[in-house]
Amino acid sequence: MGALLSIPLLVVPSMGTIFTFAASCCGAATCSAVFGACGKCGNSVATRIAYALILLINSILSWVMLTPWAINKLQHLTLDYMTIKCPDGPCHGWVAVHRIGFALGLFHIIMGVLLLGVETSKNPRANIQNGFWGPKILAWLALIVLSFFIPESFFFVWGKYISFAGATLFLLLGLILLVDLAHTWAEYCLAQIEATDSRAWRGILIGSTLGMYAVSVAMTIVMYIFFAKSGCSMNQTAITLNLIFFLVVSFISVHPAIQEYNPKAGLAQSAMVAIYCTYLTMSAVSMEPDDRQCNPLIRAQGTRTTSIVIGAIVTMLTVAYTTTRAATQGVALGGKGHIKLPDDDEHSLVTQQPDSRREMRAAALRQAVDEGSLPADALLDDDDDESDGGNTAKDDERTSTQYNYALFHLIFFLATTWVATLLTMQTEDATNSDEFAPVGRTYWASWVKIISAWVCYGIYTWTLVAPIVLPDRFDFS
């Protein structure tokens, strides 16, 4: 399967060996190996890892297609049937990137439609999500190939409007999840402290809070020294506003009125929001073009290629992780939320006395059927559970799915639009055939990160004041 996935990469022979090996990681055999390597992690975790790997490989392939030399080779492999160009001239992979992103996006849309309404792994359609990796990989590859036969005019509309709208939604989704993560982390630490009165957890909470604030301040100082020189008004404004905002939200989080309505709010959440938004600001100023002599990193030619490669890979890994996390946070996103009762098979007695526990369960079911409390087919369902054998140990979704399958694939679709938009918003033309295209080195990308940081501060502030504005909808007692 890896060999099939490496076919499009023949346009880059110098990297063929590396990407062939990487592509083989998404083959059906390796996807199956993920399940075995996970041990007790369960089908749901292994499935998410496999889909994240596919997104990562698809993103790297799209990035490689940005090089003009790769595009020329692609045109040559198609016997010059395709001439990839934009209305204003050559666009060095602009259309190719959107074709590859569209292919994986369409794959996830189809998967989402097929999995609508699946709530447990007992549903036969659940196997589409957690199995059939060989056919799914082949379908993904087939969609990539077929996308190159779609007229270019379609992708001009797709890239400028539909993909851009999807990318915007994905960015907003990531910010909401970051704020949710900040609250979840702080509340989890507080719960551990209240339950165990542990000094260790108290130290972790205080130490992490102080550490994140220290890193935020350090990054701000570095930005002022290297990126806020005279004449760099954009950087000076962005850095100063970020500093003001993270001081303001920190003050708001400990304000008596906020603490009265939400006693769990505090500096721990503000520290996480501050370090993330400061990172976004630093990433923005360090990735902007150097036409105003405000980005010394670009002038460091000795580290240019290395920084581009590392930056691109880190960006794609971050997108893969963010997407996987977003796609499984159903409650935070307004998806279905459920309380998952412990499965009998997960009880400690199963390990010690499996036969006794199974017999007791069967007897209880028979008694319930005899009394009319359960339908007769409940015994058939129990027989099906017993026939699963060793598979039940890894199936953590027999009672209820861990996440909404359809929503999972919808968010992965949005991620493909964000990757394509990020890769195609370029202003630099790669003149060297061996040069990698920098990811996000445009004023557009810089402003997106700066504004995203401001929006993140706004979302977090709203979570603090919402209990005051809408007290009936919140109960922290």
Q: What is the pLDDT of residue 389?
A: 46
pLDDT in tens, 237-259: 999 999 999 999 999 999 998 88
Q: Which residue in this structure is represented by tokens 């709203």?
A: 462
Q: What is the mean pLDDT of residues 84-107?
A: 75
Span 380-426, pLDDT tens digits:
555 455 444 444 446 666 777 778 888 889 989 998 998 888 787 75
The token pair that represents 99 in the structure block: 């074709």
Would you place residue 86 in the very low, low, confident or very high pLDDT band (cuts 50, 70, 90)?
A: low
Residue pLDDT, tens place only, 99-121: 899 999 999 999 999 999 888 87
Q: What does each C-alpha distance from 425 to 187, 265, 419, 441 come to in angstroms?
A: 39, 38, 10, 8
The pLDDT value given to residue 124: 86
CA distance 317 to 103: 20
CA pair distance 319, 196, nearest whole angstrom: 36
What's residue 139's pLDDT? 95
Quick one: pLDDT at residue 93?
A: 72
Distance CA 110, CA 100 (A): 16
CA distances from 47 to 26, 55, 219, 267 (A): 12, 13, 37, 36
| Residue 462 CB contacts under 8 Å (≥ 6 apart), including other chains | none
Question: Regarding predicted confidence, which is higher, 477 or 168?
Answer: 168
Can you tell me the mean pLDDT for 4-20? Answer: 39
Confidence band of 140 (pLDDT split at 50, 70, 90): very high
The predicted model scores a pTM of: 0.68
Q: Is the pLDDT of residue 378 over 80?
A: no
Contact 113, 70 (CB under 8 A): no
Measured distance CA(477)–CA(264) in Å, rounded? 10
Averaged pLDDT, 143-165: 86
Q: Between 189 and 214, where is the model more confident?
A: 214
The runs of H, that is alpha helices, within 287-424 are 296-299, 304-328, 348-352, 354-371, 377-387, 405-424
Side chain identity at residue 354, one-letter code: P
